[in-house]
Structure 1
Amino acid sequence: MGLRRPAPGQGPATRYFMSFHYFAGAACRALTARKDGPSLYEVCDPVLAASASGDPHLAKFYKTALGNPALRILLRRAGLPELRDDTKLARLREALVRARDEAEPDWAAVGQPVAELVDSIALDHPKPPPAMFTGSAPPQAQIDGVIRDCAQHLLGSYRKNGFLPTYAAFNLIGDPDFRGRELIMALTGLNARGYKNSSLLFNLARVFIARSPAGAVVNPPWKGIAEPMWEPVQIRHRSAYYDAFFIEALLSYVETGLASAADKTEAERAIADMVDFCVNISREEVEGIDGARFNVITALAPAPHPRFSRYFAQIKQDLGFGVYVPDCDTTACSISAATQAGCTDPIIDQPLLDFYSGYQVRAGINEPRVTVPLNDNIDYEGGVATWIDNLKGERPYGNDLDPTLNLDILEVSFRNLTRWKILETPARLATVHRIIGFQKRLAASGAFANPRSHIYYLPELYSAYFGRCYAAFLALPLAAQALIDPDGDFDFIRHRVLSYVKGELMAAEMNVFDAALALIALGHLGADPRAFAPALNVIVAGLGEGGRRGPFRAYEWNKMKTPTRILVGGPEVTSAFVLMGLAVAKRAMARG
């Protein structure tokens, strides 16, 4: 059972907006299916349900995440016939016992029986059907109206909450690119034991879900590429990474000229508060590879700043997310947003490229820095890894390397080119050149368009972020552009990304979030404004789909592949990206 597309003949209402009838029918089939082999609970209860020995977290995680009554009911008839073989069942339970009781388990051996089961499921990435041709764009007045609606949603949410919330949601069926091989990578490359425990058990559970009718409940079909975030369980929280993009969205609203004087004042007040959250509240000191100290931005500030409810704060701890460390992406995006907002805090003066160079992969020298190489189909040379060791030396997630993150490092470097003396400092310029080389190889091979190449994002989001990076590059003087990109690599990548956006993303059915990302890419990369029409029409037609929560629904912005597929987004996130996409399109159309 894969990430299913709607069956031919389904109407729009039943195809994409799952009704009560869909879920009732899917649940009924899951609850009445013929049971064929031991269930998840018949496998695990003897080992974990009442365990008082060994690592207490494994049993606690099992009871919290997988043993809850609702999931037990849903999966009670989901069995695996191969586990009727007593030898295979005993081998699987033995692996769980080793994970529970051994002080230093051999995680590759522990994970092998689960990895073999994971390889028995078939998941696919969405393959939207071709889109109908759209000739004309909606009137400018309608586009401006959507911009205002999105801005009012953001400002109203900020007034109501005191911040702009984002949400995390678990999809227990897992990620299509995460198979048995990747599970072993995670178990051996992650550092925190709680994170290994959760990865092991989540992946065991996803086999029972994906191979039973329960999969239709957990993973309903959708339109487009970015996954909608299905309710009811979503974890609201705040992060500097999210605030950075909310800052850019409100800045783009002010720049459209559509904001009233009162809205402009309110937006500026929210921007100033979010800049402070990014560069002060979320600031953390770390040590670079050469021992020098730097201030970076942590993904989750200390409590109570992430705004978790007390219930979810405890759940986060129980699931193995007790320690959060800073990361290179949150740092880059936060410093970029603060720079755009005119912040003068000394943190912006740090030449971050000196720090990033210590996390840059050099083939044959520091490749072991990437301990969780889930996207090892790409060449890491020149790329910067994700996670930053804190001062205690903790690295709970091991480390990985994401292409989109590296675009954010380039973008913030272009915005601070003069401040960081990049052209005058050969080592810093060399770091930039090597990241550009990393990106060019992705474009030349076409790997950027393969979802497996990305750790936290989707190819259409990479395309939008490349557009954002390219716009910062074009804002530089021509002489600086020539020194940064003497071989015209950016133009080469631009053509490849435009080809993907126009020839693949927009040639198929899109949802609102896909369309917003397409507009960001097209507008920044200098596409003919007539090419905007399909994305503009998708957005205008989708207005109101969010119901009481906002103009639009919550969609997947970024994701985790471990310990299972965790989506991050929210109605406010969709409004922010739609606002930015329409603002970019509006500027491009005004230029003709």
Structure 2
Amino acid sequence: MSLQYFAGAACRALTARKDGPSLYEVCDPILRQPGSGGDPHLSKFYRTALGNPALRTLLRRAGLPELNDPARLNALRQALVLARDNPTPDWESVGGPIAELVDGITLQHPAPPRRTGAVAMPPAAEIDRVIRACGADLLGSYGRNGFIPTYAAFNLIGDPDIRGREVLMALQGLDARGYKNSTLMFNLARVFIARSPAAAVINPPWRGIAEPMWEPVQIRHRSAYYDAFFTEALLSYLETGLASSEQTGTARAAIAAMVDFCLETSREEVRGADGKSYHVVTALAPPPHPRFSRFFTQIKQDLGFGVYVPDCDTTACSFSAATQAGSNDPILDQPLVDFYAGYQVRAGGNEPRVTVPINDNIDYEGGVATWIDSMAGERPYGNDLDPTLNLDVLEVSFRNLTRWQILETEARLAFIRRIVGFQQRLVLSGAFADPRAHIYYLPELYCAYFGRCYHAFMALPPAARQAIDPGGAFELIRLRVLAYVEDELVGREMNPFDAALALIALGHLGGNEASFAPAVHCIVTAFGEGGRRHPYRAYEWNKMKTPTRILVGGPEVTSAFVLMGLALARRCR
């Protein structure tokens, strides 16, 4: 969006006619100062996240007419008092008035128009030029920072899939009190934002599916999940043969350092459901390794994001990247599938692992939940279950099939087959294409990651593939996902990130030749949109839906996806 757009949108927000109490008129009498007893974090969160001068100015004329009703205003205030003063409040009672307001807003997922007109495949030299530029961007960023950063950005309007029902699910299923507080207050604020002209400032329109992360991108950080991804991107760059000899040396050194960050710096010991000790990979290593600025380190604590625990996805991706890089670290010898089995949902057969079922439109049977209990028993986010994460569990298992003796161990093979069954039901139902079915990712990214998983599956010997998938589920999924990519993703207007996801899926799943051209054309024509420092802008890679819509990505992330997508397109020409 242009500066002119934002200036106009801000002017409309600041001069709108006000009808009803604003967020601050509701909350200031209760939360501007902490109450007596209860939970002091709620007031601290309100002052830090919602009471800052910039947001106050933007929302000062955002009122809700229904709160002119004294009874309704009083019910909302009493709910906030209960959350402030009670150490263990009834979260359904606290959240009820907020959930009712959330149900009064209308948000929609992007629906890009159909693409019109044919485009030609750009010349091979143009593709190679973009690949080299993206490789140089990754290596240059590594050289400047000592790592390749990723960024997080808050979109306060929230996620379209989080309605009042899901707000109540989160308030009751999350564990950490600070996370409950932030979920409560962010969802109250999003009502005032979504129903006022301020929405146009906070949530401007964009092209394609993946949401751009509007500058400035707020929170730079490092995680093993990101290092694992960048490791795969640099391996892909080396495989193209386009890296110079100097770049090759730099890339190999960066890969070795990032694998070490994943397996050593981010290693954490936990206890499995079988009582055994396992080493997994934490979502965020202890300071100073995440590389947060000193300013945000304190803000993070104030917002209630002080506790992090390991997760199944970061562990799977870290083990996979290390395996692809040729690591022989003893941690890889652990049969990770034995640990994951304790987090696999089996209908009627295990503890209800999914405490935050905001995507309960899908059948969880056979899926692996996200968050790993720390050795101290911490589970701040409760637990949820994401389909794309389960693709990563399959992919790392295929790469370590022999090492973990999966085919030779009945329980391990059964574990893998149950995940395959989970994925088959998801895709054949059509739910894989519904954003509500996904916790942390776009359906389009699910398609790209299925391509990655399918590639690892097809690299197995035929007898192994038959043992894992005797019913041909992978071929059924491949056909459904490929049809979605060719008809829906490539068939509509894209941005460069969408196009990169399309190419990764097309390249791994055997897409028809004509489908590559629109995606490659989109990427090549958008080259340079990142300005002087990067080839491309930052887009949504993954997200949190609670406590509000928090996007994760970065210009280097876009470069990495574009590089991997074009490398596959180049191979398939």
State the TM-score bracket (shorter-chain normalisation).
over 0.9
Deviation at residue 50 of structure 1 after TM alignment? 1.8
Deviation at residue 87 of structure 1 after TM alignment? 0.7
Counterpart residue identity of residue 547, structure 1: G
2:292 pairs with 1:302 = no
Residue 217 (structure 1) aligns with? 201
Is the alpha carbon distance of 1:162 and 1:381 closer, same or farther for their aligned partners in structure 2, counting shifts above 3 Å?
same
Contact 1:529 1:585 in 2 (8 A): no
Q: Which consecutive unaligned segments of at least 5 residues does structure 1 have?
A: 1-17
Matches for 1:123-522 after TM superposition, within 5 Å: 123-366=107-350, 368-522=352-506
2:30 to 39, 44, 47: 47
Kindly report the root-mean-square deviation, in angstroms, between the aligned alpha carbons of the 2 structures.
0.7
1:148-203: CA deviations, max 9, x gaps? 00000000000000000000000000000001000000000000000000000000
Taking the aligned partners of 1:426 and 1:246, their CA distance within structure 2 comes to 34
Partner SS state of residue 122, structure 1? coil
Taking the aligned partners of 2:342 and 2:507, their CA distance within structure 1 comes to 34
Deviation at residue 232 of structure 1 after TM alignment? 2.5
2:27 pairs with 1:27 = no
Partner SS state of residue 359, structure 1? coil
Which has the larger displacement, 313-322 or 119-128?
Answer: 313-322
Query: TM-score, structure 1 length as denominator?
Result: 0.96
1:194-231: CA deviations, max 9, x gaps? 00000000000000000000000000000000000012
Identity of aligned residues (%): 76
Contact 1:153 1:551 in 2 (8 A): yes
Taking the aligned partners of 1:290 and 1:419, their CA distance within structure 2 comes to 20
2:569 pairs with 1:585 = yes
Residue 563 (structure 1) aligns with? 547
Deviation at residue 233 of structure 1 after TM alignment? 4.8
Contact 2:490 2:515 in 1 (8 A): no
Deviation at residue 530 of structure 1 after TM alignment? 3.0
Partner SS state of residue 236, structure 1? strand
Deviation at residue 435 of structure 1 after TM alignment? 0.1
Residue 4 (structure 1) aligns with? none
Counterpart residue identity of residue 173, structure 2: G
Deviation at residue 367 of structure 1 after TM alignment? 5.8
Deviation at residue 234 of structure 1 after TM alignment? 1.3
Partner SS state of residue 495, structure 1? helix
Which has the larger displacement, 533-542 or 366-375?
Answer: 366-375
Taking the aligned partners of 2:494 and 2:233, their CA distance within structure 1 comes to 22
1:267-294: CA deviations, max 9, x gaps? 0000000000000000000000011000
Partner SS state of residue 259, structure 2? helix
Partner SS state of residue 112, structure 2? coil
Taking the aligned partners of 1:345 and 1:217, their CA distance within structure 2 comes to 48
Contact 1:115 1:179 in 2 (8 A): yes
Partner SS state of residue 286, structure 1? strand
Counterpart residue identity of residue 487, structure 1: G
Taking the aligned partners of 2:369 and 2:141, their CA distance within structure 1 comes to 34
Q: Which consecutive unaligned segments of at least 5 residues does structure 2 have?
A: none
Counterpart residue identity of residue 138, structure 2: L
Counterpart residue identity of residue 384, structure 1: V
Taking the aligned partners of 2:348 and 2:215, their CA distance within structure 1 comes to 46
Partner SS state of residue 342, structure 2? helix
Taking the aligned partners of 2:533 and 2:46, their CA distance within structure 1 comes to 33
Partner SS state of residue 280, structure 2? strand
Contact 1:549 1:571 in 2 (8 A): no
Query: TM-score, structure 2 length as denominator?
Result: 0.99
1:61-111: CA deviations, max 9, x gaps? 000000000000000000000001111111100000000101210001100
Contact 2:151 2:217 in 1 (8 A): no
Residue 119 (structure 1) aligns with? 103
Deviation at residue 368 of structure 1 after TM alignment? 1.6
Contact 1:168 1:235 in 2 (8 A): yes
Residue 109 (structure 1) aligns with? 93
Counterpart residue identity of residue 83, structure 2: A
Taking the aligned partners of 1:217 and 1:82, their CA distance within structure 2 comes to 24
Counterpart residue identity of residue 450, structure 2: F
Contact 2:159 2:548 in 1 (8 A): yes
Which has the larger displacement, 576-585 or 362-371?
Answer: 362-371
Deviation at residue 585 of structure 1 after TM alignment? 1.3
Partner SS state of residue 284, structure 1? strand
Taking the aligned partners of 2:498 and 2:216, their CA distance within structure 1 comes to 23
Taking the aligned partners of 1:365 and 1:42, their CA distance within structure 2 comes to 49
Deviation at residue 588 of structure 1 after TM alignment? 1.8
Taking the aligned partners of 1:367 and 1:87, their CA distance within structure 2 comes to 41
Taking the aligned partners of 1:230 and 1:74, their CA distance within structure 2 comes to 17
